[in-house]
Amino acid sequence: MTNLAERPTTTDKKKVLIVDDHPLMRQGLALLINQQQDMQVCAEAQEAQTAIHAIAESHPDILILDISLSGPDGLELLKSIRTSDPDLPVLILSMHDEAIYAERALRPGPMATS
């Protein structure tokens, strides 16, 4: 039997913002995340401007960011986020296997660790 004190409450859940221009990818990630006891999707965005607004409105604990967005790409968005919220942890998703993208993703500033 699980001790009730060990169960995360809704307020204990980490808020996740998903930024991806593919609706199916966002829906799949949201489904997986929302099944976790300690996480919930607080917002979704399909492009950079919507993501910036969603960050300001929902105050996520972590951001899942696709590197290939239409309009300003994920790396440009990451630079903007690092300026306004340097401590927000960001998980970068990419279909690219080139190491150059990893280097460019780390360049906007150090990733927060917790």
How many beta carbons lie within 10 A of that of residue 33, not counting itself? 19
- Quickly name the fold that domain 12-106 has: Rossmann fold (3.40.50)
- Are the beta carbons of 68 and 45 closer than 8 angstroms? no
The pLDDT value recorded for residue 19 is 96
Query: What percent of the chain shows pLDDT beyond 90?
Result: 55
Q: What is the pLDDT of residues 1-29, one digit of tens each?
A: 444 444 445 568 999 999 999 999 999 99
Q: Answer yes or no: pTM beyond 0.85.
A: no
pLDDT for position 2: 44
Which residues are 93's β-sheet partners? 66
100 has pLDDT over 70: no
Q: How far is CA 34 from CA 22, 51, 95, in A?
A: 18, 19, 23
Query: Cβ neighbours of residue 78 under 8 Å, at least 6 residues apart?
Result: 65, 90, 92, 105, 108
